[in-house]
Amino acid sequence: MESPRSGSDSESPCWKKKSAEEGLLAGVKDHVDQFVHTSVEQHRICLKKTIRGLSDFVKLHKSRTINRSSASKETRIEPPVEF
């Protein structure tokens, strides 16, 4: 069995838009045609890549959120306490 990482991104089984100039209907038709004529193995590879990418995005977003919240806590100035 061939490793999904052995090919380059240009050989990716995931759908890519062929032309920026094509209209919406032509793009949808192309997408459906590629989907129908793709093997189950290629669908599995693409799904794994998509899930991995989403997982990486969530991790990155969480780390940025944590960094922002810790930075905002450090820069807060507490009002003086009056007796």
Question: Is residue 82, in this structure, part of any structural domain at all?
Answer: no
Among 38, 48, 41, CA closest to 16: 38
Which of the 8 DSSP states describes residue 79?
A: P
Is residue 20 pLDDT above 60, yes or no? yes
Question: Is residue 60, in this structure, part of any structural domain at all?
Answer: yes
pLDDT in tens, 49-71: 989 999 999 988 888 887 776 65
Question: Is residue 19, in this structure, part of any structural domain at all?
Answer: no
User: In the predicted model, what is the mean pLDDT of residues 17-33?
Assistant: 83
C-beta atoms surrounding 66 within 10 Å: 10
Instruction: Please give the residue range of the domain that contains residue 63.
Output: 39-73
Q: Residue 62: phi, psi to the nearest 5?
A: -65, -45
Question: Is residue 79, in this structure, part of any structural domain at all?
Answer: no
Total domains present in the chain: 1
Torsion of CA 38, 5, 10, 35, to 10 degrees: 20
